[in-house]
Structure 1
Amino acid sequence: MLNKYPLWKNLLIMAVLVFACIYAAPNLYPPDPAIQVTPARSGAEMSEQVLSQVREALGDKQIEFFGEEVKGSTALFRLTATDNQLPAKDAVQRLLGDEYIVALNLAPTTPEWLLNMGAGPMTLGLDLSGGVHFLMEVDMEEYLKGKMTNYREEFRNRLREENLRYRRIQLDDGKVVISFVDAAVRSEGSSFISRNYPEFLREEKDGEYADLVLTITEQKIKEFENYAIKQNLTTLRNRVNELGVAEPLVQRQGRNRIVVELPGVQDTAEAKKILGKAANLEFRLEAEPGASRFATEEYGFRSEERRTARLEKKIITTGDSVTNAQPSFDENGFPQVNIDLDSKGGAVMTQVTRKAVGKRMAVLFVERKPKTTYDVVDGKEVAKTVQVVEKSIISLATIQSTLGNSFRITGLESAEASELALLLRAGALAAPMYFVEERTVGPSLGKENIEQGVNSVILGLALVLGLMAIYYRLFGMVANIALLANIVILIALMSMIGATLTLPGIAGIVLTVGMAVDANVLIFSRIREELKAGRSPQQAINEGYNRAFLTIFDANLTTLIVAVILFAVGTGPVKGFAVTLSFGIITSMFTAIMLTRAIVNAIYGGRRIDSLSIGGRV
């Protein structure tokens, strides 16, 4: 029988529509603007005193809030207006200082029953939701200083191995100065360095000692800089991925800067805390009781501020050698971090600890933290942020046996163990970084963008619906139903996979609307032609859909290929447009062909009819 779908196909279409309505529904519940308060230090608790201070700060600024929530160490305060987010953040941050991180957030309002089904709203991009824009600068001067320090230690070891006697090796204004015992040994040393370290320019100087001044070449400096930027980019991307921030933008800007943009729908406070930490590890032996103070340094413990220990200045290895780090618990249930080192780091660890069994080894946590101060300039208070390096001991344990590529760090709290494992697993920053600019893309701007985008979709949709209904009559109404279903299915798909909707994505939806209508226009025009050719209404419907299918399929396939290429090679907004367009092509094929055919079959199929309400003269 012509134009009758089997029961299973009708049930399939109904199931898709119900499924789409459920998973698109969370987008009807817009999130509340909020500020989030989190301790800068992991493991710290959110006290009632801090909550009282936040309430006091908001009250002083006459900022209305509701729905105060505390989960673990994080407090969330929902605000009544998006325009109050920035004033609220500034007021609370000033009152609490650098011990707490205050960030903008969007608190979800999706009903619990939808969340239990795995449904959630679409992720909005930075241009729609607002969010944080960081401009971070790599401290190349500090990074190159560290590289030169490593060269100095390497020269000491290599020259001793070659039995080339020297009096001292020191750094002077970014150069390595080696003082040999006499000119003859200096000549041998210069030849050795020329063969093994071509990246250095050599200059001989006579004076109190036979000095050899080594200056690193500009080409090598550029290599170091490029490596530092690439490694830091990788590390920042890994850290963001570990945090689950959707569609972040992490890219290089200029010679030594990196831009990071995070959409505001994620946990921006945690992201800011992790990104802002230039954290690393240093493994050092505890100094002997009679060791010279010039070869040792004293540090406090991270968990016990009054307790200190004196460590050797010489570093065994650093977090740069860590290939994997996972938090776990020991046999007594105490938190620990299992560490895996690369071959180089493992070899050095084995060599040092083989001779140090019975001694204690410290794990030093090195953290570069921002500190905010306020100065008065021209009668106005101006905030200034400087970077402060803090080093604290997180573990000091006796070496029971020779350590190799794998060992564990103990003496941590559970939150500290998880955070340390995340930072090490994501990779250490090759060079220290600091924030030079932090901009907030206001939620009010995002709201305006959303309104304009939605208005463009509604206007385009209204025009299309009106024209289709007028020109194709009943068939036009069928196409309109399919068009609305297409948008619902598209939103449901994007919500399910966590795709990020941006302004270009909205443009993709508008384009999808046009493509979906275009498919129905082809089908309906074909049906008209079949009617003009003398076919019966039932035959015209059947032939119209069957013959138009190949044309529609070819046109959509070529567009889909272009969309896939855009997704593969594009970034940011281009990728967002490509995702929306790709899904739109698939959903429009389903609704324009299967759904409209099912509705038309329900209206006309399986019975004798003399005419079709399809407009025009047939």
Structure 2
Amino acid sequence: MVHFPRWQVILVILIVVLGFTYASPNLLGSKQAEDLPGWVPHQQVNLGLDLRGGSYLLIEVDLPTAFEESRENLSGELRSALTQRGIAGSEWGRFGQAAGFTLQNPDDSGRARQAIREIVGPNLEIDVNDGAVFRVTYSEQDIRERSTAIVNQAIEVIRRRIDETGTKEPTIQRHGEDRILIQLPGVDDPERIKALIGQTAVLSFRFVHENFATGGRLPPSVKLLPADNPGPGEPESYPVSKRVMVSGDRLVDAQATFQDGLPVVSFSFDTLGAKRFGDATTDNVNRLFAIVLDEKVISAPVIREPILGGRGVISGTFTVQEAQDLALLLRAGALPAPLSYLEERTVGPGLGADSILAGEIAAVLGLTFVVVFMAVIYGLFGMMASVALLVNLILLLAALSVLQATLTLPGIAGIVLTIGMAVDANVLIFERIREEMRNGRGPVTAVDAGYRRAFSTIMDSNLTTLIAASLLFHFGSGPIKGFAVTLALGLITSMFSAIMLTRGLVVLWLRQRKPQALAI
């Protein structure tokens, strides 16, 4: 263990230099760090909500509305399946938690049941009264699976929408059965984020009824939809076909741009969407084509010529910000269910600054007490361990910066804990060296035996703590993960500082001074 080859010396020096390099941007302001050249490390530690300030939102996913829409779709699927098989039904609709219908011919009951099973699978419960009245409901297992899928899809859509805004290190996680917890560090405009999150963003392209200007009663296949921000002389509403020619899930891209000096949103379809869009515009030149977002007509242009390239433009009375937000919503996809806000809190940066100050004080006090203790108990060797401890903190800060990990208040607690644990390995080594000295060994052999025999104990203790930190990270959430990250990184850097850096300083001192006894 006292043999320290040249490659190890170079490796230690290289790691320490890189640590100082990657930790140094944290001494600058955020603006100064961003202005650094691209080839210079400029990453800083991301601060969590409790340190940086920001917004805290608790959202509830409206599962009943989602299931209501599912039952409406189920009713349509049942009607289509029976019609294709020549089975006549009546009284179609939803009855409580079920979709139902009545057979005109009770003899078709067996065929109807088989048709239902073929289109929807075994997870639906079918109840038949008098051989003709059908009620189809979702099973309990299917409801649980669908609920989980809806909430997970909502989380993914929310994550994509928030990521598009450039918010760093947001926390988005499931909270209970139907709730989502969102923490947005550094967000100074939570209302805009709420507007982006809460909008369902279901886009569809449909035709406007040809005789809409004449008024009169609408046919069953047409419904009246309001116009979104109509301009002067524009209709307040449009009679729009219920049939969707092309749906928004066929979009592959949407970007805010300008046309004739006005903000617009350009979009493009996938291959199938482009074909449908091209066929629809080819067969309906000079008709109004409504662009519907969340059951509002945001634009109803006239099809002047076939649009065959799978690309188009959504125009309207947009501001630049509104065009950017609409493009963001279309790229992120539609929410599977409406959302409601149960709780909203704003954490001011002043509170975060107080937490940072308290953490700094705790870290400085902990570091001071450890340095004094090591110097008093172990003398020169203790001072070497203290130097390694300072380097350990720098390496930990560099690792947090490179990994872009989020530092929270529990994370600061993990750093303070790391300060105490970082010297634990050195204490084990130094006590072992003392024991070897009492057994009559010389300085060199005592140091060699001390490091060699304490190494396995150090590895075991740090490995068990690392396993605990890994479990905390895997099963924990939010601040718990922050604590686990700093604890795990602190263990790794402390192992390096104790086994490599402190040992290197001790070996260098032994070679230079060649002492006859050790003052330890």
TM-score over 0.5 (shorter chain) = yes
| Of 134, 157, 174, the match for 1:235 | 157
Confirm or deny that 1:249 pairs with 2:171: yes
Cα distance in structure 2, aligned partners of 1:510 and 1:248 = 24
Q: How has the CA–CA distance of structure 1 residues 212 and 305 changed in structure 2, closer, same or farther, with 3 Å as cutoff?
A: farther
Cα distance in structure 1, aligned partners of 2:487 and 2:359 = 16
Residue 553 of structure 1 corresponds to 459
Q: How has the CA–CA distance of structure 1 residues 255 and 565 changed in structure 2, closer, same or farther, with 3 Å as cutoff?
A: closer
Cα distance in structure 2, aligned partners of 1:530 and 1:173 = 82
Cα distance in structure 2, aligned partners of 1:330 and 1:453 = 49
Confirm or deny that 1:297 pairs with 2:220: no
Residue 65 of structure 1 corresponds to none
Residue 466 of structure 1 corresponds to 372
Cα distance in structure 2, aligned partners of 1:177 and 1:610 = 96
| Of 111, 119, 126, the match for 2:49 | 126
Counterpart code for 1:124: L
What is the root-mean-square deviation in Å for CA atoms of aligned residues? 4.2
Cα distance in structure 1, aligned partners of 2:42 and 2:190 = 22
Cα distance in structure 2, aligned partners of 1:174 and 1:314 = 25
Assess if the C-alpha contact under 8 Å between 1:453 and 1:503 holds in 2: yes
Cα distance in structure 2, aligned partners of 1:548 and 1:224 = 55
Q: How does 1:507-518 map to 2 (within 5 A)?
A: 507-518=413-424
Cα distance in structure 2, aligned partners of 1:568 and 1:256 = 22
- Could you list the per-position Cα deviations for residues 29-63 of structure 1 after superposition, in whole angstroms to 9, with x for gaps in the alignment? 57xxxxxxxxxxxxxxxxxxxxxxxxxxxxxxxxx
Confirm or deny that 1:274 pairs with 2:200: no
Residue 293 of structure 1 aligns to a residue whose secondary structure is coil
Q: How has the CA–CA distance of structure 1 residues 217 and 346 changed in structure 2, closer, same or farther, with 3 Å as cutoff?
A: farther
Q: How has the CA–CA distance of structure 1 residues 478 and 356 changed in structure 2, closer, same or farther, with 3 Å as cutoff?
A: same
Residue 192 of structure 1 corresponds to 112
Cα distance in structure 2, aligned partners of 1:154 and 1:146 = 12
What is the CA-CA distance between 1:505 and the residue it aligns to?
1.7
Cα distance in structure 1, aligned partners of 2:200 and 2:498 = 53
Residue 266 of structure 2 corresponds to 336
Residue 40 of structure 1 corresponds to none
Assess if the C-alpha contact under 8 Å between 1:337 and 1:417 holds in 2: no
- What is the TM-score when the length of structure 1 is the normalising length? 0.68
Residue 411 of structure 1 corresponds to 314
| Of 343, 350, 361, the match for 1:455 | 361
Counterpart code for 2:269: I
- Could you list the per-position Cα deviations for residues 123-168 of structure 1 after superposition, in whole angstroms to 9, with x for gaps in the alignment? 1222333322212222334333323332343344334323345677
- Of stretches 561-570 and 160-169 in structure 1, the one that deviates more from structure 2 is 160-169
Assess if the C-alpha contact under 8 Å between 1:523 and 1:548 holds in 2: yes
Confirm or deny that 1:441 pairs with 2:372: no
Confirm or deny that 1:315 pairs with 2:244: yes
What is the CA-CA distance between 1:537 and the residue it aligns to?
2.8
Assess if the C-alpha contact under 8 Å between 2:228 and 2:298 holds in 1: yes
Residue 298 of structure 2 aligns to a residue whose secondary structure is strand
Residue 120 of structure 2 corresponds to none
Q: How does 1:530-569 map to 2 (within 5 A)?
A: 530-569=436-475
What is the CA-CA distance between 1:513 and the residue it aligns to?
1.8
- Of stretches 244-253 and 434-443 in structure 1, the one that deviates more from structure 2 is 244-253
What is the CA-CA distance between 1:519 and the residue it aligns to?
1.1
Sequence identity percentage: 37
Residue 206 of structure 2 aligns to a residue whose secondary structure is strand
Between structures 1 and 2, the one with greater strand share: 1
Residue 53 of structure 1 corresponds to none
Residue 77 of structure 1 corresponds to none
Cα distance in structure 2, aligned partners of 1:551 and 1:315 = 69
What is the CA-CA distance between 1:490 and the residue it aligns to?
0.3
Assess if the C-alpha contact under 8 Å between 2:384 and 2:506 holds in 1: yes
What is the CA-CA distance between 1:589 and the residue it aligns to?
1.5
Cα distance in structure 2, aligned partners of 1:354 and 1:409 = 11
| Of 510, 518, 529, the match for 2:435 | 529
Cα distance in structure 2, aligned partners of 1:298 and 1:217 = 31
Residue 139 of structure 1 corresponds to 62
What is the CA-CA distance between 1:22 and the residue it aligns to?
3.7
Q: How has the CA–CA distance of structure 1 residues 314 and 149 changed in structure 2, closer, same or farther, with 3 Å as cutoff?
A: farther
- Could you list the per-position Cα deviations for residues 542-593 of structure 1 after superposition, in whole angstroms to 9, with x for gaps in the alignment? 4433443343234323333333343233322332222112211111112112
What is the CA-CA distance between 1:417 and the residue it aligns to?
6.6
Confirm or deny that 1:154 pairs with 2:77: yes
Q: How has the CA–CA distance of structure 1 residues 557 and 434 changed in structure 2, closer, same or farther, with 3 Å as cutoff?
A: same
Counterpart code for 2:517: S
Confirm or deny that 1:573 pairs with 2:476: no
Counterpart code for 1:338: S
Counterpart code for 2:218: R
- Could you list the per-position Cα deviations for residues 476-517 of structure 1 after superposition, in whole angstroms to 9, with x for gaps in the alignment? 111111111111110121022110112332232233222221
Q: How does 1:469-484 map to 2 (within 5 A)?
A: 469-484=375-390
Assess if the C-alpha contact under 8 Å between 1:166 and 1:178 holds in 2: yes
Cα distance in structure 2, aligned partners of 1:121 and 1:578 = 19
Residue 54 of structure 1 corresponds to none
- Of stretches 602-611 and 229-238 in structure 1, the one that deviates more from structure 2 is 602-611
Assess if the C-alpha contact under 8 Å between 2:51 and 2:355 holds in 1: yes
- What is the TM-score when the length of structure 2 is the normalising length? 0.79
Aligned length: 499
Residue 404 of structure 2 corresponds to 498
Q: How does 1:392-411 map to 2 (within 5 A)?
A: 392-394=297-299, 396=301, 398=303, 407-411=310-314
Counterpart code for 1:17: V
| Of 498, 507, 511, the match for 1:592 | 498
Counterpart code for 2:20: C
Q: How has the CA–CA distance of structure 1 residues 536 and 129 changed in structure 2, closer, same or farther, with 3 Å as cutoff?
A: same
Q: How does 1:68-147 map to 2 (within 5 A)?
A: 108=30, 110-111=32-33, 117-147=40-70
What is the CA-CA distance between 1:221 and the residue it aligns to?
5.3
| Structure 1 residues not aligned, in runs of 5+ | 31-107, 206-210, 367-389
Confirm or deny that 1:325 pairs with 2:247: no
Q: How has the CA–CA distance of structure 1 residues 325 and 395 changed in structure 2, closer, same or farther, with 3 Å as cutoff?
A: farther
Q: How has the CA–CA distance of structure 1 residues 338 and 329 changed in structure 2, closer, same or farther, with 3 Å as cutoff?
A: farther
Q: How has the CA–CA distance of structure 1 residues 187 and 217 changed in structure 2, closer, same or farther, with 3 Å as cutoff?
A: farther
Cα distance in structure 2, aligned partners of 1:292 and 1:168 = 23
Counterpart code for 1:481: V
Cα distance in structure 2, aligned partners of 1:229 and 1:311 = 31
Q: How has the CA–CA distance of structure 1 residues 145 and 346 changed in structure 2, closer, same or farther, with 3 Å as cutoff?
A: farther
Assess if the C-alpha contact under 8 Å between 1:361 and 1:399 holds in 2: no
Q: How has the CA–CA distance of structure 1 residues 468 and 396 changed in structure 2, closer, same or farther, with 3 Å as cutoff?
A: same
Assess if the C-alpha contact under 8 Å between 1:129 and 1:443 holds in 2: yes
Q: How has the CA–CA distance of structure 1 residues 551 and 454 changed in structure 2, closer, same or farther, with 3 Å as cutoff?
A: same
| Structure 2 residues not aligned, in runs of 5+ | 118-123
Residue 423 of structure 2 aligns to a residue whose secondary structure is helix
